[in-house]
Amino acid sequence: MSKKPAIPLSRFSNPKNYGIALSVSRRALAAKDPGEMAINSGCPFDEETSSFEVLCLDHPFTVTYPDGLVKYKGTDLEPYFVLQIIMINYLARADGAPLNYQYIPYRDLEGGNAYYGAFQKTAIKPLAKAFGSSPEKLPEAAAPFGGIPHTQGSGTGVILYLFPRVPLLFKIWPGDDEFPPQANVLFDSSANHYLHTEDLAAVDVVTRILTKNPQRKDN
């Protein structure tokens, strides 16, 4: 491995409540053609090892086919089960649609209003709490995950690629005497070509990773 992984990893953990969802996702993966999935997702498929290489937050993972076993490349370590599920679902759902580079809020995704309250609570508010008083620390925290500064518009922004064709825009606006800090997580308008809106709600795991990143320097 070329660098120490910044994404939390573990060995042979128990899926517990994620077991059924993981099984459903693996069956969907097994039903698809690996060559088509590789083209549509931008994730190379190695016929010799029968596995995809998936770049997630600038970290390389392998996903076996047809079993759908997810490991950090070259190890027996696994990421959070929620990441495993959406990684597998990404491969199975991707249709190759081009990115639009137009960022929209979660509620503007297909059926996004139904999940927006929960998404705001788990993904957006913790982001504002962690970085609202010091927005400049957001790019620092995002750097180990391939964060790209986003300089358009107001506030402090950084783009993270959850997967090769799922960019996420994290934004922070500092507060003042009248208004508290604000945050948002925005999606390319093509996002539903790659993940279901409910899967995209799991982006709150990225917020958790960012806010717990040990490289984030707090005073």
Model pTM score = 0.94
pLDDT band, very low/low/confident/very high, at 2 (cuts 50, 70, 90)? low
CA distance 126 to 25: 28
Q: Of the candidates 19, 60, 54, which has an alpha carbon nearest to the alpha carbon of residue 34?
A: 54
Local structure of 34: helix, strand or coil: helix
Give pLDDT tens digits for 90-149: 999 999 999 999 999 999 999 999 999 999 999 999 999 999 999 999 999 999 999 999
What stretches of the chain show up as alpha helix (H) in DSSP?
A: 19-30, 34-41, 81-93, 112-119, 125-131, 137-142, 197-200, 204-212
Cis (ω within 30 of 0) for the bond into 167?
Answer: no
Percentage of the chain exceeding pLDDT 70: 95
Q: How are strands ordered across the β-sheet holding 59-64? A: 45-46, 51-56, 59-64, 70-72
Ramachandran angles phi, psi of 116, nearest 5°: -65, -40
pLDDT tens profile 168-197: 999 999 988 788 999 999 999 999 999 999
Strands 148-150 and 156-163: antiparallel
| Predicted pLDDT of residue 166 | 99
